[in-house]
Structure 1
Amino acid sequence: MDFGTVVHTDTASGAPLALLVCEHASKRVPASLGDMGLSAEALDSHIAWDPGALAVAQQMTAQMSASLVYGGVSRLVYDCNRPPEAAGAMPTKSEDFDIPANVAMSPEERQSRIDNIYTVFSRELSDQIKQSRSSLDLMVTIHSFTPVYHGKPRSVELGLLHGRDDRFAQAMMTTLPSDPPFVTRLNQPYSAADGVAHTLDAQALPNGLLNVMIEIRNDLIQTSDQQAAMASYLVPWITETLAGFQERKTL
C-alpha cells in the first residue's frame, strides 16, 4: 500500500533551540483507502486532523530558532502521537463516528501502517534530535481542540499539557502574562492520562529535552490573521520561559 509522504520537515537555518512537532497536521487519506467509509464532512472535521495547528506551528517556526516536524497523513489512518499498542493509534471509533476502514483492517494492513507511518515519523523525529542535539533544549508539540465536545462547550482556550516531565509546562504557567488574553489551564482539555503525551515521553524525555504540549481551541485559529496572532503570542512566552532554564544552567 502506498501511503505517500507521511512526514515533513522544515529545518532551521541555524542551530535550533527548539523542535516543534505537529503530529495531526494533515487530513490526507491515501487514495488506496478511499474515504475510509466516512463522509466528506467527517474527513474535514477534527476527528481527521487538528485544524489550524500546522499553520500556527509554521508561523512559530518562522519567529523563533526552531525546526518543525509534521505529519502528512490523517490521524484516522495512523495517529503519530500514539504507540502501536494503543487503541487510538488506528481508531475504530472517534468521538461519535465509527471508522469502517479501521474496523475491517487485517493484521497485515495494521502492521503496514505501523511500519510505513508511525516508524517513519518516529525515525524522522529521532534524526532531527540527533542532528541538532548540541543546540536543542526544548520540544513543543502543537495541537488544536474543538470548542464543543460531546455536546458540552469548553471554556478553556489554551491548554498546557505534560507527560512525565512537568518542568516546562509548570514554568510556562508561572510566566503566564498577568492579564492573559486566553483562558489558560494546565492539563486541560486533556492530560497524560488520556494518552496524549506519547511523543513527549518517547522522544523528548529520553533525550533530556524540556518539553510541553500546547492545545489551542480551534475556533481561535481559523484564519491566517488568527494563526499569526496566536504564534506571536506563544513565541515570546515560550522564549521567556526557556531563557529562565538557560540562565539557571549557566549559574
Structure 2
Amino acid sequence: METARPASLASPEAVRVTNPGGSSPFVLTCDHASNFLPPEFGTLGLAAEELSRHIAWDPGALPVARRMAEALDAVLVETCISRLVIDCNRPLDAPDLISAISETTAVPGNAGLTEKQRAARIALSWRPFHDAVEQIVDKRLARGAETRLVSIHSFTPVYKGKSRPWHIGIIHDEDRRLASPLIAALKRLAGVTVGVNEPYSPADRVYFTLERHARSRGLACAMIEIRNDEISDEAGQRKWADLLTGIFSDLGLEEDQKEIRQSAIGHPVQPVN
C-alpha cells in the first residue's frame, strides 16, 4: 500500500491537470488523490501512520486513474492536498467539508476552526480543484468536444466494523447514461462483485464533483469506487486500470451508445464522433 509522502517530495501544487488536450470524450477526476499535508498544517495532530490510511486519501486510486488517462488519451484532474485539509468532493456547506472526526478518528487540527481558517483552506485546495475542472469542461464544450465525467475513488474493505463485499462500485443518480452500460460490462466479468450505489450513493453527499461539473451541464457521468485492497500494489492497479480502460474504450461503440440513449432520463446524448 502507498504511504504518506515525505516532506522532500512535497508539491507546491494544489491541483494537477494531465493531458488537458486529450482526445477522449472522458474527463477523469481523482478527488482524493493525495495524502500530502502542506507544512503549515503539520500532521493535524495525527500520528504519522494515520496519514497512510483512507481517512487521508483514496489509496491506489491515483495510479489507476493515471494509467486509464494515458491509455484512453483522457484528461485527468487530480488533487494534490489531503482531504484531511479539506474535502474537494463536498459542497461548501457540508458538515464534513473539513472533518473534526474522520470515520472514527479525531483530527485535532480540524477542531474549532475560525471562518478565516476555513476560507483559507477553501482558497488553498477546494477552489483551485473546481476551477481547474470547470475550465477543462468549458473549453471542451466551447470547441464542441463530447465530454463525459468520471471520478475515480477507492474504499476500505471494512468500515466501522462492517465488511464490504464489493470489488468495485458504480455510483450514479437518476441519470444512468454512463452508469448502466458500465455496470452491465462489469457484471459480465467472472468473479467480480459489483456494487450499484454501494458502498455509497449520492444520498451520502459523495457525488458533489459530478453534480457541480457534469449534472449541471447535462453531461453523462459516473463515479467509480474500487475496494482499496484490490489496488494496493502495482499489479492490482494495472489489472483494474486495464479492465476499466477496455470497458471505456468499448463505450464508444454504436451498440453501447444505443444503451446509453435508452437509459438516459431527460438528457439528450450527443452522438459519438
Whether 2:71 is the aligned partner of 1:59: answer no
Q: Which runs of 4+ in 1 moved over 4 A?
A: 246-251
Amino acid across the alignment from 1:199: T
Q: How far apart in 2 are the matches of 1:250 and 1:86? A: 36
State the SS of the aligned residue for 1:56. Answer: helix
Q: Which residue of 2 aligns with 1:126?
A: 134
Return 29-38 or 6-15, whichever deviates more: 6-15
Q: TM-score, normalised by structure 1?
A: 0.93
Whether 2:117 is the aligned partner of 1:102: answer no
Return 124-133 or 241-250, whichever deviates more: 241-250
In structure 2, which of residues 106, 123, 132 is the aligned counterpart of residue 115 of structure 1? 123
State the SS of the aligned residue for 1:220. Answer: coil
Identity %: 36
When residues 16 and 132 of structure 1 are mapped into structure 2, their CA distance, relative to the original with a 3 A threshold, is farther
Q: Which residue of 2 aligns with 1:208?
A: 218
Q: How many residues align?
A: 249
Q: Which residue of 2 aligns with 1:90?
A: 98
In structure 1, which of residues 151, 155, 158 is the aligned counterpart of residue 165 of structure 2? 155
Whether 2:222 is the aligned partner of 1:245: answer no
What CA deviation, in whole Å up to 9, does each residue of 1:113-136 have, x standing for no partner?
112221111110001112222223
Whether 2:248 is the aligned partner of 1:218: answer no
Unaligned residue ranges in structure 1 (runs of 5+): none
Q: TM-score, normalised by structure 2?
A: 0.86
Amino acid across the alignment from 1:222: S
- CA offset at residue 17 of structure 1? 1.1
Contact in 2 for aligned 1:162/1:169 (Cα 8 Å)? yes
Amino acid across the alignment from 1:158: I
What CA deviation, in whole Å up to 9, does each residue of 1:77-118 have, x standing for no partner?
011000111011101111110111111311100011112221
- CA offset at residue 12 of structure 1? 4.9
Q: How far apart in 1 are the matches of 2:174 and 2:205? A: 12
Q: How far apart in 1 are the matches of 2:36 and 2:101? A: 18
Q: Which residue of 1 aligns with 2:154?
A: 144
Return 201-210 or 168-177, whichever deviates more: 168-177
Unaligned residue ranges in structure 2 (runs of 5+): 1-10, 262-269
- CA offset at residue 223 of structure 1? 1.0
- CA offset at residue 172 of structure 1? 1.6
Contact in 2 for aligned 1:169/1:186 (Cα 8 Å)? no
In structure 1, which of residues 221, 230, 236 is the aligned counterpart of residue 240 of structure 2? 230
Q: How far apart in 2 are the matches of 1:100 and 1:163? A: 34
Contact in 2 for aligned 1:81/1:196 (Cα 8 Å)? yes
Q: Which residue of 2 aligns with 1:27?
A: 35
- CA offset at residue 15 of structure 1? 2.7
RMSD over aligned CA atoms reads: 1.9
When residues 228 and 10 of structure 1 are mapped into structure 2, their CA distance, relative to the original with a 3 A threshold, is same
- CA offset at residue 164 of structure 1? 4.7
